[in-house]
Structure 1
């Protein structure tokens, strides 16, 4: 027994040391495991990085959920430090009131959350430094942003290990940055996607009238290119020809473009954008006069205050099945929303490879942009809508050798075809791309705007954006990939925190189809009856103008009965919708609440019966012996 006890203790100690840090994550989205990108970032550090985790233990005694979240943050930081091979040095600090640790947290710029009425404050943040005195912080770990925890920390470490940020040139015809609004006399908030972009990259604004793209720009991002001059198009063309990376967002009907609204035909043409001659030369097909409609993925929205929500097939919510699982830009995303987007294709005879990143469902079809310009009711888009069965590409990656849209050289000022004999100083003209190009084209600009993917709220006096879709992640992923950084991509948007009830939505959509059919039937009956009444009225004599004939009375009575019948059918459709949804809920409740206990009970009964049989068989054997 003593030998067994010593052996047990020895094996336990051996397991503790040999399996230290071993974990088995059984969650569906691997919430408690480091992503491969995080492991590569912390495992490839060239110089030591110091992390200082500040958390007020005493001040958080009464906030159990926050302490639980802090424990998770600490465990993740410790695991990162363990996998860094000693390059990541972690310090756990409890900044007590009026202590040097509290002064140090304030010096880093960490935010303290006030608690209680006695002026107590709670620190819950992270600071990091590198060997060149670079500093990065996470001011406060908000529990609402738990799904972005690993990315935020890994991004902080990546920025400290790579202090030189890639340069992104930003050319836009929209007001996407914080700016002054002369109409209201107030500052206009910029888009969250662009603000986050400026935190990660060195973003330089490029004028829409530029005639030269600097060679120090790693990626050129173009948003809503409207009416660009030939020389500007040539500068973009030559930037791509010499190996520059391009991310372009065009739109057939930009909802955020309010400049000169209504000046084009039916108010739509002035809100469209394209890189027409460049797309044509590069083999990309895009029609700025057509908008994509998707009956399956169209979102249910209220267009005006007080209006009942209805499906808008031109405001599309793409799910994981709509995105390319084999491309690093979209493989880990769950949902992306667009509004009045266009679609892309490969021109006939083009040699490029057009790799879809985001696609519609098969229940989609093109719509005329003019149809949406002055649309009053989104349900009118369903009238006559017929899906083509084709999946349309909204965002794509373009690969391959490209030919210049200006093979004869830079166009003269004010001309579209006449070339000049001289080219830009120090930049020889190229008729084709130096290497295989790698571009990302998106047929929507509203994808970057806040209403489609974030909601903002005030936290401790600061404006904080809470993401409910992956639009911003898509933009960051795309530029990460184009700049050559792919480690952070595998971390961002790894898990889904929003689970739509797809079966319920399918039931609602099916009932809505039946409802619209009944509404159409009612309208047809009404028009037929009014036509017959008009015919009877025309055939009636003038002396009986104030009296109804028996035929008219019969027609009116029939119409009233028909109207009552159809309205009853409409009520039945709505009632059947609720019944089907309630039936589905009941089935799920039975499965979740009753099925498992029933299986356990059956298993227990079966085990008891089997045990009794073994006991009886044993007793019979003993008796026989």
Structure 2
């Protein structure tokens, strides 16, 4: 090897070393975000909030550098958090201060971190405790603690940090009035005889809002930024008048109604229809809602398993809605990818309504309405397919209602009031103070089970702390709506980022098409099998104590023929089941061939072309 080549190699090595050294110092925190949707860039909502902070916020960021020396993945993520906090600080106009604290094992700072509420995790280099959290404080002394920053929640990192900073910077939190006919605050399960926990959806909004619970005997609703009604049932006329007046006075209202409240369906060990409706108010708002029917939707239906090891079955009343079902023009739907619902109602604009009815969530065209009473005895969801005939109509599941409206109680209401001495009661006439409005602001969702934990969240215990891990966007739907209606819409664009879910939409479409093609064939074979088994049963009954001689030779031949036919039909059914997966398997094979052969061939081709081009330039 001649000296010129050695000199070139040494020069290249020195140049590379200098580039790495300079970039690590001069370009610290600089990132090129090539991910879909700008996964690692600050959103406009975050920048807007940081530029308009009302008061100073200080964040103490704790991380155990020494204890994590053998955990490179965690250290990389910690560096990502540190860089993000530095970027926050640079864009806050001096309102945000970040202090990084390196926690050495057995140090006084470790004790201070534990006293501040941080959660330690064993697993350090020498069995030391690892701290990875932060404590945020505002000028008034109010404090927020993140006990341990979960690496598997990186998708929500920006939203969580911005929400925390925004909440501490505001002088007062937005106030949300809540009325619920369901036990969203937890209660007692009669069947299991155990206490039920608070719904995760309530915890989601509890962090960022001041919640005020509305009682059924409320005369007026005042001092709240918006009103949230969840599964309202048998509301008193007094409360209905209060809601009516709040909406007509410019108050913003969000309502979750339901033709079948599954969380309250079991009463005394038996399933009963528990529905929610506020028909008088809906009529004045120009909304038609039939609580006796629910939506069945083949295209958006989910596949469930019946018991342990049970056959997967499509449930037409259990829906998973993707972006195609959501109005992309509505800010509340921003960034939502999957919303799961169950036993959903259908709404429409009432005939002659003065209000403007705008759908924001709709079913697919492969939908129909079914009687809600079938849900009380539904043991096998596949039976919903029996009489299912799509109407080719998209039913509205959620909608905004705006425009002019009149009071539902123009003549007032009469209520019974207990006398102060407890002796009897007296009737009082309550008159509305507002009879009409030029523009009401109401959002309605025809399902309350959408907020129940089972449809969108997994709750895990992490060293004694409850960790909520969403697997659908139901909680984001509620948060987006509350933030929008209460005037905190900047956070919507932040939570819309960081979505890592990439469903196999092509595979799901192939599976639905295959099911449609083979469903009729499968039903015919099953009916034929049932008829054959009935004929076999009739012949078996003719036997006297199992004595085959009691059957004639012709009957014995018929029995054998039916047994062979039964085996043949069962084989055909198995073939149909296998055919359901053939298209999906073919697609998988095609993708494997592309990844294994085509992609490397293309890379080699471009490499050869590049080498050929460079050789031509060198020879020119």
TM-score, normalising length from structure 1? 0.85
1:41 aligns with 2:71: no
Unaligned residue ranges in structure 1 (runs of 5+) = 1-11, 415-419, 538-544, 619-625
1:202 aligns with 2:210: yes
Question: Does structure 2 conserve the Cα–Cα contact (< 8 Å) formed by 1:262 and 1:268?
Answer: no
1:573 aligns with 2:576: yes
Equivalent residue in structure 1 for 2:263, among 256, 272, 275? 256
Q: Which residue of 1 aligns with 2:229?
A: 222
Instruction: Kindly state the Cα deviation for residue 565 of structure 1 after the two structures are TM-superposed.
Output: 4.2
The 1-side partners of 2:550 and 2:586 are apart by 54
Equivalent residue in structure 1 for 2:483, among 469, 480, 485? 480
The 2-side partners of 1:493 and 1:365 are apart by 31
Q: Which residue of 2 aligns with 1:324?
A: 327
Structure 1 SS opposite 2:207: helix
Instruction: Kindly state the Cα deviation for residue 116 of structure 1 after the two structures are TM-superposed.
Output: 5.1
Question: Does structure 1 conserve the Cα–Cα contact (< 8 Å) formed by 2:414 and 2:430?
Answer: no
Structure 2 SS opposite 1:491: helix
Instruction: Kindly state the Cα deviation for residue 567 of structure 1 after the two structures are TM-superposed.
Output: 3.1
Give CA-to-partner distance per residue, 1:31-67, whole Å, 9 cap, x none: 1101111010111123332122111110111221111
The 1-side partners of 2:359 and 2:59 are apart by 40
Superposition map of 1:116-265 within 5 A: 120-179=128-187, 186-207=194-215, 209-258=216-265, 260=267
The 2-side partners of 1:53 and 1:473 are apart by 27
Structure 2 SS opposite 1:251: coil
Question: Does structure 2 conserve the Cα–Cα contact (< 8 Å) formed by 1:511 and 1:573?
Answer: no
Instruction: Kindly state the Cα deviation for residue 275 of structure 1 after the two structures are TM-superposed.
Output: 0.5
The 2-side partners of 1:345 and 1:613 are apart by 70
The 1-side partners of 2:266 and 2:551 are apart by 58
Instruction: Kindly state the Cα deviation for residue 186 of structure 1 after the two structures are TM-superposed.
Output: 4.4
Give CA-to-partner distance per residue, 1:489-513, whole Å, 9 cap, x none: 1111423322222233333333333
Equivalent residue in structure 1 for 2:35, among 27, 30, 40? 27
The 1-side partners of 2:539 and 2:27 are apart by 93
Q: Which residue of 2 aligns with 1:540?
A: none
Superposition map of 1:106-505 within 5 A: 106-115=114-123, 120-179=128-187, 186-207=194-215, 209-258=216-265, 260=267, 268-269=272-273, 271-413=274-416, 422-423=429-430, 429-433=433-437, 435-505=438-508
Unaligned residue ranges in structure 2 (runs of 5+) = 1-19, 418-426, 541-548
The 2-side partners of 1:96 and 1:455 are apart by 34
The 2-side partners of 1:320 and 1:68 are apart by 33
Q: Which residue of 1 aligns with 2:510?
A: 507
The 1-side partners of 2:54 and 2:594 are apart by 53
The 1-side partners of 2:597 and 2:84 are apart by 37
Structure 2 SS opposite 1:356: strand
The 2-side partners of 1:437 and 1:307 are apart by 49
Question: Does structure 1 conserve the Cα–Cα contact (< 8 Å) formed by 2:367 and 2:394?
Answer: yes
Q: Structure 1 residues 218 and 547 mapped into 2: Cα distance closer, same or farther (>3 Å)?
A: same
Structure 1 SS opposite 2:263: coil
Q: Structure 1 residues 450 and 13 mapped into 2: Cα distance closer, same or farther (>3 Å)?
A: closer
Equivalent residue in structure 1 for 2:96, among 56, 69, 88? 88
Question: Does structure 2 conserve the Cα–Cα contact (< 8 Å) formed by 1:507 and 1:577?
Answer: no
Give CA-to-partner distance per residue, 1:502-530, whole Å, 9 cap, x none: 23333333333344323322244357668
Give CA-to-partner distance per residue, 1:153-178, whole Å, 9 cap, x none: 00011011113112212211211113
Equivalent residue in structure 2 for 1:54, among 62, 69, 72? 62
Structure 1 SS opposite 2:262: coil
Moved more, 582-591 or 515-524: 515-524
Structure 1 SS opposite 2:302: strand
Structure 2 SS opposite 1:401: strand
The 2-side partners of 1:615 and 1:219 are apart by 72
Q: Structure 1 residues 564 and 129 mapped into 2: Cα distance closer, same or farther (>3 Å)?
A: same
Structure 2 SS opposite 1:396: strand
Instruction: Kindly state the Cα deviation for residue 307 of structure 1 after the two structures are TM-superposed.
Output: 2.7
Give CA-to-partner distance per residue, 1:552-590, whole Å, 9 cap, x none: 678667655654444333232333344433322221122
The 2-side partners of 1:570 and 1:252 are apart by 36
Structure 2 SS opposite 1:28: coil
Question: Does structure 1 conserve the Cα–Cα contact (< 8 Å) formed by 2:136 and 2:144?
Answer: yes
Q: Structure 1 residues 587 and 532 mapped into 2: Cα distance closer, same or farther (>3 Å)?
A: closer
Give CA-to-partner distance per residue, 1:350-409, whole Å, 9 cap, x none: 122222222111111111101221012100001121111111111111111221111112
Q: Which residue of 2 aligns with 1:623?
A: none
1:587 aligns with 2:590: yes
Q: Which residue of 2 aligns with 1:520?
A: 523
Structure 2 SS opposite 1:215: coil
The 2-side partners of 1:50 and 1:535 are apart by 82
Question: Does structure 1 conserve the Cα–Cα contact (< 8 Å) formed by 2:299 and 2:366?
Answer: yes
Structure 2 SS opposite 1:355: strand
Structure 1 SS opposite 2:406: coil
Q: CA RMSD in A?
A: 3.3
Instruction: Kindly state the Cα deviation for residue 231 of structure 1 after the two structures are TM-superposed.
Output: 2.2
Count of residues in Structure 1 that have an aligned counterpart in Structure 2: 584
Give CA-to-partner distance per residue, 1:323-348, whole Å, 9 cap, x none: 12121111211111011111211112
Q: Which residue of 1 aligns with 2:14?
A: none
Question: Does structure 2 conserve the Cα–Cα contact (< 8 Å) formed by 1:137 and 1:156?
Answer: no
Give CA-to-partner distance per residue, 1:298-333, whole Å, 9 cap, x none: 111124344322110101011122112121111211
The 1-side partners of 2:29 and 2:537 are apart by 86
Instruction: Kindly state the Cα deviation for residue 546 of structure 1 after the two structures are TM-superposed.
Output: 5.0
The 2-side partners of 1:520 and 1:14 are apart by 70
Give CA-to-partner distance per residue, 1:204-223, whole Å, 9 cap, x none: 2222x224233112222111
Q: Which residue of 2 aligns with 1:542?
A: none
The 1-side partners of 2:64 and 2:27 are apart by 31
TM-score, normalising length from structure 2? 0.86
